Every structure is written in C-alpha cells, then in structure tokens.
Amino acid sequence: MCGINGIFAYHYASRPVDRAELLRTRDAMSARGPDGAGDWISQDQHLAFGHRRLAIIDLSEAGAQPMASADGRVVVTFNGEIYNYRAVRTRLEAKGYRFRSGSDTEVLLHLYAERGADMVHELRGMFAFAIWDAANREVFLARDPMGIKPLYYADDGWTFRFASQVKALAAGGAVHDDPDPAGIVSFFLWGSVREPHTVLRSVRALPAGCTMRVDRLGAHAPERYHSVAGAYVAAERAPSPAGPAAERLRETLLDSVRHHLVADVPVGLFLSGGTDSAALAGLLRDVGGSEHRSLTLAFDEFRGTGDDESPIAAEVARTYGSEHEICVVSHAEFEADLPHILAAMDQPSIDGVNSWFICKAAAARGLKVALSGLGGDELLGGYPSFRDIPRWVGRSSLASRVPGLGRAVQTVMTSRLLARLDLNPKAAGALRYGGTYPGAYFLRRGLFMPWDLAALLPPEVVDEGLRRLGPCGGVDQPGEQTPSTSFARIATLETTNYMRNQLLRDMDWASMAHGLEVRVPYVDASVLDNIAPLTVHGLLGSGKGALAGVPRPPLPVSVTAHPRTGFSTPVARWQEDLTRSGARAGDTPPSNPGQTPWARRWAQVVATATLPGFGGAT
C-alpha cells in the first residue's frame, strides 16, 4: 500500500518534466508511504514516476519503487497488493522470466511484458498502477475491479499527471484548482463525491475496473475490463448452482481470507459486534493462520447500552482465539482529532470518523495491515434497502409513469404553503423518483434532494452540476448492463455507489493517514463471481444469516441475535456537549451519517473545511 504519482509530457512541444513538481506531489502523500520514497525520470526527461512506500511484501530494498525491468523497457509505480502474485510468478518463471526480488511489484513488470493490457485479467488484489512501455512510448494505467484503491489524473493537452490523491495533484502546483460543480453537487446529494468526478474540474478519477493508455496523442478514453453489473447479469443467466450453497459460501470466503493474509508483516482484524467481522475472526482461525490480533472501538458514553459492541466483540475473540484489545475513544480525543480528520479527507465525506479512530488505534499498536468486514452487506443483502426499495418501486411505479405528475407533486410539496409542515424532506420526490430502482435508491441514500441545493450553492453551480450528473444524481453508469432480479439491481447500486464512493474511499484516506493497509476480503471480484449465482437465485436466504454458519464453530448467538448498531459513535452526544459549552453548533458529525438533519448540518461543516472556494475555504 503506497502513494504513487507521475508526469508524462507527451506533446512534442511540451517542456521537460519538473522534478520539483514531481516531488511536491509525491511528498504530499508521505503518510501513505512512511517506509521509503523514490523517483525515476526517463532519459529524455519527458516522463517521471514517484512513489511513497509502505512495505508489506518483500521489506528489503529490492522491493523499492519505481521499479524497472532488467532491460529498462518497462517501469512501474504501484499502489496496492496482488494477492495471487506467487502463483503468477511461478507460471512466469516456468516460461523463463527471471526475478530479482520477492515482491508482487516485479510480477507486474513481467506480466505486462508477457500480456500487455490483458494482464489485468490475471490479477487478484487491490491495485492502482502505472507502467511505462518504452517500446510503444506509452503509459498504461489500471485500477482494480472493485475500486478499492484510488487513482486520479489530469490532462491539460500537453502533459498528463496522475496520483493517488486529488490533494497531491493540487500540491504539485501545475494542476488548476477550479472547483468542479459536478463534484460539489454530488457531495451534497450523496455525502461523498461520485467518481469519475472530483472536487476539481481539471482532475478525474480513473473508474474502477478500468484501464487507460496515454501516448503522444494524450490520454485515451478509459476502457472497462470488469463490471459489477456484468457479474450479476452473468450470474442471472447461468443455471442455478448445484450442491450445498452454504458450503460454496464457506469455501469461497476461506479462499478469500487465505489470499488476503499474504504479507511479510502481521495481519490484524477490525472486530465489531456485527456478523461480517465476526465471521472473519472465525475464518482466520479456520485457515490455520498464526495467532492474530483484533481491535474494537468502544466509548464511555455507550457503556452498558445496546450500542456498546465491545462485550460481543470480546466474546467473539474468545471463541476464535484472537489476541483482543478494546480501544476507548473519548470526547476529548475526538475534539482534538477533528481538525486532523478534516485535513486528511482527500475529498469531502460525511463519514469516515469510525475508520479514522480504528485505523489510528491499529497503527498505534504497531500493526501495518488489518482486515475489515466492509462489503458483507453489499455482497449478501444485509442493508434494509434490499427489502425497502422493491416495495417502494412496486407502490410508485404506476403513478410515476404519468407524465409530469411527479414533478407537479414535488412543486406543491416544496411550496411555501407546505414548507411549515413537519414532512420528510424526501417526500416531495416519492412519485418523481420512487418508481424506478435508481430513483428509489436515490431517495434511500440521498443526503439532500436537488431542490434543496438552491439554499446551499450558487445557482450556476447547481445547474451545471445537476446537468452533468444526470438523472438521479448520476446513479446509473452509462453503457452498463442492467440486471433483472431485484437483489442484483440493489446489490449493484450499493456496491458501485455507497460502497465504492464512500465506504472504500473513506477507509483509504483514514487508513493511509496512519500508514496502515486495510484489506477487505468480502470486496473481491473472485468472491463476487462465486457468490452472485447463489444470491440471485435465492439459495442463501435473505440477509446475512448464512454467514453465521460459515466459521467452525458457528458464530455465537450473541452476535446473530444482537440488533446491528452500524458501528456507531456517540458524536451526536458530543456535539450537544460542545453546544452547551459554547462551541459552534454543527461542528461534529452524526452518530450514524445518512439521511438525518445532523448529517445535513455536518455536510455543510465538511464542505466549509474541505471544498475549494466554499465558505471561504481554499
């Protein structure tokens, strides 16, 4: 896990690379790679790669980056981990390729030499990398199928720049920092910025599951090699799998955990009171790995209440033999860390506070790698949206087909006459959006509605942002296939929206701020391919109940019977304390970020602190 960046002055009349700019961008990501720094510049001075290293596999200098092949024809800068690199290496060695290190990075060099852009189909892991192909004089970039690792770029028609963070590109000094209305509007609609947009007009995200080539003509359009929607469509078209579904689920997850344990440093576990992380604790013991450490967040304000997950987590740790520690976060620590949390956000988000504190605790205890149960809800249908959205669509679909009716109802319900009524702010959009899966999802996950934005942003920003995002705030991805089953539709929406744009991105900035690598065994393209046929054909039942029987022994009843609290924090209560002591109202996030007044107020605080040009911020 690292920070990568590069500059490619591809135009024939462009000036040579400015090494000082390269280093400014690279070192703006120093927290991502505290174990080393490197740079490489081509002989003609028109290409440069930078790298900040967090050493996880092959801790020696042989694994340092940027890394060049023996003949110098291929150079790579790489962020992430390739979990199947040993198997790929064995195959390449059998074909005559020779290795000088024990790193997964070198596997990328030889695999590209053998397969070119098709190399991505053989990789299992989380990654974002750039490869210089001297023979074809082009840069090849790739991002992992699920979008776990970020990759951002800017192209001004002369020079192409890329980095692991938007702020790092801006820190280089050559990327225009004009705000992007689409990115800003998407933050207020969703509570996070939707890819490929960013908060800067000149910077884009390489979409998950895509590759890109940059040659003397500049950056070509991203090319998709993996699609979550496509995986579900394939699962729907395939025959219903034979054999015990529960055993297939277990074997798939055991295989994923084995792969995610590949490291030359100890691997810990984030353990809450929920099913997802508890199942991982059991699977860690089942794969026969060495004794592992687990960590749980706790808060004095929750002690003795149903929101306190630490007793259940401790029972899980005892059941599966974890070396467990409970990490208590206080009001004072939250207040002291708040400026650092906002500064660490690469792009604004209303979430990520939990991730910050658990990553901080892990790093303070010497861990460099930890597993997280993130992604289980999307994979197995654990969110209420899997139940609610089909019902909403069924109720609203007929009325929503009447031309103009939804917009007319919205206009009436948002009029001054009804503004004084205590109505859910989303009720005005029920008919307009509720009749389709993307629209109903927008109502479910949306923070503000489009008609709320006039009170928050200049009209020209709202108009351009909404126009560029498209219907339902940009939920649908152009050109994507559409699954037919309700489960697959909602799973696709949750995976490619909430998980990708918020949960994974929040975990990335929060973990990297502490020099920690977080791995997510449920978020894996191979796992999706194996589990999707079970879920779309209804072979695992509803929700995540099937996870309880995956470990041996099964999860304790205390876990399966406990109402899920969402790994919450007591910051709403902390905000009340700050208000009573005379602090400015609205300076803390909600206990459960989402569609609440607290979340909307917190969004304005985050925007003021993080968005360029918003509320006086820069």
Asked if the model's pLDDT at residue 98 lies above 90, the reply is yes
Q: What is the pLDDT of residue 582?
A: 40
| Cα Rg, the chain, nearest whole Å | 24
Cα angle for residues 104, 110, 112 (degrees, 5° grid): 100
Per cent of the chain over pLDDT 70 is 87
Confidence at residue 424, expressed as pLDDT on a 0 to 100 scale? 59
Element housing 219 (H / E): strand 218-219
With a cut of 90, say whether residue 153 has pLDDT above it.
Answer: yes
Measuring CA to CA, how many Å separate 403 from each of 370, 409, 436? Answer: 52, 12, 14
Residue identified by tokens 């929503």 is 400
pLDDT of residue 189: 95
Q: Which amino acid is at 62?
A: A
d(CA 143, CA 79): 10
The mean of the pLDDT values for the chain is 89
Q: Tens digit of pLDDT for each residue in 26-52?
A: 999 999 999 999 999 999 999 999 999
Contact residues for 191 (Cβ-Cβ < 8 A; gap 6+):
349, 350, 351, 447, 502, 593, 594, 599, 603
Q: Which domains are present in the chain? A: 2-226 (3.60.20.10), 237-380+514-571 (3.40.50.620)
Distances (CA, A) of 85 to 9, 74, 456, 567: 32, 18, 48, 33
Chain center to CA of 170: 21
Q: What is the pTM of this model?
A: 0.93
Identify the pLDDT of residue 12: 93
Which of 393, 378, 391 minimizes the C-alpha distance to 535?
A: 378
Q: Is the pLDDT of residue 418 over 50?
A: no
Amino acid at 64: A
Q: What's the confidence (pLDDT) of residue 404?
A: 58
Instruction: Provide mean pLDDT across the span 72-96.
Output: 97
In the chain, what is the greatest distance between 2 CA atoms, to the nearest angstrom?
77
Note the pLDDT of residue 291. 74
210, containing H or E segment: strand 210-215
**For residues 393 and 409, what is the distance between their CA atoms, to the nearest angstrom?**
17
Which residue bears the tokens 């909602």?
490
pLDDT tens figures, 328-368 = 999 889 889 989 999 999 999 988 988 999 999 999 999 99
> Cα separations (Å) of 111 from 77, 78, 118, 444?
14, 14, 9, 43
- β-strand partners of 214: 139, 219
* pLDDT (0 to 100) of residue 301: 83
pLDDT band at 588 (very low <50, low <70, confident <90, very high): very low
Helix ranges, 382-503 (H):
385-400, 405-413, 416-419, 430-433, 437-445, 459-469, 486-493
Predicted pLDDT at 40: 98
| pLDDT value of position 591 | 36
Comparison of pLDDT for 612 and 552, the residue scoring more: 552
pLDDT score of 415 more than 70:
no
The pLDDT, as a whole number, for residue 585 is 33
Percent share of the chain, pLDDT over 90: 73
Nearest to 58 by CA among 50, 49, 67: 67
In this predicted structure, which of 239-243, 539-543, 599-603 has the lowest mean pLDDT?
Answer: 599-603
Statement: residue 412 has pLDDT above 60 = no
Residues 62/34, Cβ–Cβ less than 8 Å: no
**pLDDT of the residue at 604:** 81
* Residue 563 pLDDT grade (very low, low, confident, very high; cuts 50, 70, 90): low
Lowest mean pLDDT among 145-149, 159-163, 447-451, 573-577: 573-577
Residue 586: what pLDDT? 34
Of 424, 402, 403, which Cα lies nearest the Cα of 413? 424
Amino acid at 192: S
Q: Tell which residue, 377, 375, 278, has the closest CA to residue 324.
A: 278
Cα 8 to Cα 45: distance, rounded to the nearest angstrom: 9
Looking at the DSSP bridge assignments, the partners of residue 75 are: 68, 132
pLDDT digits (tens, 9 = 90+) for 215-258: 999 999 999 999 999 999 999 999 999 999 999 999 999 999 99
For residues 604 and 363, give the distance between their C-alpha atoms in angstroms, rounded to a whole number.
Answer: 30
Does 554 have pLDDT greater than 90? Answer: yes
- Mean pLDDT value of segment 403-426: 55
d(CA 100, CA 82): 17
Strand partners, 143: 128
Give, to the nearest 10 degrees, the angle between helix 437-445 and helix 486-493.
Answer: 50
Neighbours of 44 (CB within 10 A): 10
Q: Quick check: 468 pLDDT over 90?
A: yes
- Answer yes or no: is pLDDT of 130 > 90: yes
Q: What is the mean pLDDT of residues 128-147?
A: 97
pLDDT at residue number 494: 97
Q: Are 602 and 350 in contact (CB under 8 A)?
A: yes
**Are the beta carbons of 329 and 353 closer than 8 angstroms?**
no
8 A C-beta contact, residue 456 and residue 189:
no
**What is the structure's pLDDT at 573?**
63
The neighbouring-strand residues paired with 140 are 131, 213
Rounded alpha-carbon distances, angstroms, from residue 522 to 154, 316, 499: 32, 19, 12
Task: Indicate whether 293 pLDDT > 80.
Answer: yes
The yes-or-no verdict on residue 290 having pLDDT over 70 is no
Distance CA 167, CA 180 (A): 14
Model confidence band, residue 530 (pLDDT cutoffs 50, 70, 90): very high
Mean pLDDT of 378-399: 87
Assign 3-class secondary structure to 60-120. CHHHCCCEECCCCCEEEEEEEEECCHHHHHHHHHHCCCCCCCCCHHHHHHHHHHHHHHHHH
C-alpha 449 chain-centroid distance: 23
CB 299 within 8 A of CB 354: no
Sign, Cα dihedral of 339, 164, 491, 185:
positive
